[in-house]
Structure 1
Amino acid sequence: MSRWIVSTSLLASLVVHSAQAEEQNGCHSQPLEDAPVEKAYHYLNSKFCQPALWFDSFFVDDRITEDARAGTSVRWYNDFIYSEGGDVDYSTKLNARLHLPFASKRLKLIYESVSDEEFFDFFPQDSEELESALGLRYDAYAKGYSSFNIKATLRPRIEARYRFTYPLTTDAVFRLTQRVYQEKQETGEITDIDFDLSLSDDFLARWSNFAGYNDDLKGWEYGTGLTLYHYLSQDQALQYSATIAATSEPYNHYEYSQVSITYRENVWKEWLFYELIPRYQWEREPHEKHTEEANITLRLEVLFNNV
C-alpha cells in the first residue's frame, strides 16, 4: 500500500509537470482574481516579488485568511480518506467569513470547524475532533509589516493574534505570529515562526515552527516542518511537506509526524477545486510504541470569495 502511494504521487508529479503548456509570468506572486489579500503581505509581495502570496492564496493558507480585510469568503471541503488496510473515512469542514452590513469593514461574522487540538492548522488531525464555532472577528490593525485582530466565539473562546512580517532579503521573509487565548477555564499561548525562501519563480521553501503552552496541559507542545511549493500553472500547484510535533508531558516525546505531497487544481469553475494527498504518518502515545500508516485523501472543495 505504502509503495503504491509513493509511486502514484511521484507519477502524478511527473505527469502534471510535463503537461505544463501555459506561459509563466515573470513573478507568480500576483494574487488570484478575487482572492483575499493580506495587506502587509501584499506590500511585501508587490515590492519584492515574493511568490508566497500566490501559493498562500491558492492553497487558502491561514497566513492569508487570518488577515483578509475585504469581502466575504465561504470554504466548504469534503475529504475521502483511504487508509492502509482498506478503511475509508469521510469528513467535512466549513469555514466562512461574512461582512456584516451597516457595520465596520473591520468586523466579520465567522463560522469555523475547529479542533480541540490547538495546532490543528499546523498538522492534520482526526476529523472526529472537529467542532463548529460561530463568532466575531475584529481586525483592529493592519498596516505595513504588522497586523492585529481579536476573535471571540460561542465555544466560548476569545483570542488575540499579532503578526509581524519582515523581508530579510529580496528572496527571504521572516514571519512571527503570537496568539494568546482563553477558552472556558483554560489559558494558553501559541508562538509561530516562519521563514520563506523564494528559490525561483516556480519554487518557494518554507520552514515553519511553533511552540505553545496552556495551563490545562501544564506543559509545552512544539513542532517544526518543511514545505516546498511548486508552481505548475495558474490552476495547478504541488506542495511537498514533512512535519513533526512533540510534547513535554508526561515527558519529551514526539506525538505525530508525517510526509505528504498535495496536488491541488482548480477545475471547471473558478470556485471548484480538488486535491490528491498521499501521506505516510507516524503517531505515538506516551509509554507506547509508535504506530504508522499510509493513506491517500481525495478532497473536493467549494470556495467562494467576495460573494
Structure 2
Amino acid sequence: MAEDEVDYSSCHSQPDSAQILDTAFNYVNSRVCQPAIWFDNFFVDERIDEDANAGSVIRWRNDFSYVEGEGYQYKTRLKARFYLPKVTKRLKLVIESDDEDDLFGLFPNNSDDAENVFALRYDWLNSERTSLNFKLTAHPGAEARFRYTYPISEDLLLRATQKVYQKKKLTGESTELDLDYSISPEFLLRWSNFATYEDDIKGWELGSGLTLYQHISDQQALSYQLSTTGTNRPYHYISNTHMSVTYRQNILRPWFFYELIPEYNWSKDPDTEREGEFKATLRLEILFHNI
C-alpha cells in the first residue's frame, strides 16, 4: 500500500497535549501510525517529549506509596521546561530532579529524594530523524545527547540515543536502544535497552526491559512492564528485576491525571542476598503543555 493510501482512521485521536509535537513527531506518526505517538504523549515518555521543539511543559508528580517492610512513603517531583523570552526557541530553561533519568519508570533505582536543579538546554539540531542538544546544570554539570530515529516499517520503529555527561567529578556515557512494534491501534510493544559507563567505579550498568501498552479509551490506558538490570562492579550480578502494571487515567480536568502502580522488585546489593519487595503507589499528576 502506498504511503498516501494508508488509512489512519483506526488510529487513536490525539489528546490536547499532542500540540507539542513538531515535524519530527509528525514524520514518525506518518510511518508508524498513531499508537506509538498516542501512548508516549498519554504516559508522557520523557525520551520522546525531550525532542519536541514547540511548547512549554510543567509536570508535577506526587507519589503516595506503601512499601513492604518500610511502611508509607511520599515523594514529589517537579519537571518543567520554558522558553527564555526574547532569546531563541532553541534555548530553554529546564527544572528537573538532579537524578532525573529517562528510564526510571522501567528501570527503577533505590536513591533517596533528589533536589531540583536548574539547567539550560540548547537544541542544536532537530530534524525528521535526528536530534542533538546540549545541557548545562547548576550543580554544575553538562550533557550532550544525540538521537536517531529510523522507521524500519509501518509497524516497526528503531530509536538510538547516545549521551555523554559530566556531573561534578563524575564522567559517564549512556547508550539507549528502543524498538517499537505497533501490534494494533490498541497495543504497542516496546523493547528498551541501555548501557551506562561511569568513571568513578570504572564499570558498566546494563538493562533490558519490555513494556506493553494497552489503549482503553482516550482517557484511560494500561502499561505492563518487565525489566532486569545488571552490573559488572564489584563483580557480575543482576542488581534488580522489576515487574509492574500502571493504570493511568485523565479525570476532572485535561491537566489532571492519576495512576495506580503495583510493582515488585527483586533487588540485590554487592554484599547482601537478593530480596523481594512489593510496592503500591497512587500517583497524582498535574500536567500542563503549551501554557
Q: For this structure pair, what is the TM-score category when the shorter chain's length is used for normalisation?
A: over 0.9
Q: How far off is 1:102 after superposition? A: 0.2
- Counterpart of 1:83 (choices 67, 70, 74) is 67
TM-score calculated relative to the size of structure 2: 0.92
* 1:211-241 CA-partner distances (Å, limit 9, x unpaired): 0111111000010000000001111100000
Quick check: 2:106–2:225 contact (8 Å CA) kept in 1?
no
Counterparts of residues 41-56 of structure 1 (less than 5 Å): 41-56=25-40
* 1:6-40 CA-partner distances (Å, limit 9, x unpaired): xxxxxxxxxxxxxxxxxx95112x54213322532
Q: Which runs of 5+ in 2 are unaligned?
A: 1-7
Aligned to 2:3: none
Give the secondary-structure state (helix, strand or coil) at the position aligned to 1:216.
coil
Aligned to 1:178: 162
Quick check: 2:119–2:138 contact (8 Å CA) kept in 1?
yes
Counterparts of residues 59-70 of structure 1 (less than 5 Å): 59-70=43-54
Q: How far off is 1:124 after superposition? A: 2.2
Aligned to 1:20: none
Identify which range, 234-243 or 39-48, moves more after superposition: 39-48
Q: CA RMSD in A?
A: 1.8
Counterparts of residues 240-251 of structure 1 (less than 5 Å): 240-251=224-235
- Counterpart of 2:17 (choices 16, 23, 34) is 34
Quick check: 2:31–2:151 contact (8 Å CA) kept in 1?
no
For residues 213 and 191 of structure 1, the distance between their equivalents in structure 2, rounded to whole angstroms, comes to: 9
State the aligned residue count.
Answer: 283
Quick check: 1:39–1:67 contact (8 Å CA) kept in 2?
no
TM-score calculated relative to the size of structure 1: 0.88
* 1:117–1:75 distance in 2 versus 1, CA, 3 Å: closer
For residues 207 and 291 of structure 1, the distance between their equivalents in structure 2, rounded to whole angstroms, comes to: 26
* 1:200-221 CA-partner distances (Å, limit 9, x unpaired): 0100000000001111110000
Identify which range, 296-305 or 181-190, moves more after superposition: 181-190
Quick check: 2:189–2:213 contact (8 Å CA) kept in 1?
yes
1:109 is the counterpart of 2:87: no
Give the secondary-structure state (helix, strand or coil) at the position aligned to 1:44.
helix
Give the secondary-structure state (helix, strand or coil) at the position aligned to 1:75.
strand
- Counterpart of 1:151 (choices 128, 135, 142) is 135
Q: Which runs of 5+ in 1 are unaligned?
A: 1-23
Q: How far off is 1:287 after superposition? A: 3.3
For residues 251 and 240 of structure 2, the distance between their equivalents in structure 1, rounded to whole angstroms, comes to: 33
For residues 44 and 290 of structure 2, the distance between their equivalents in structure 1, rounded to whole angstroms, comes to: 14
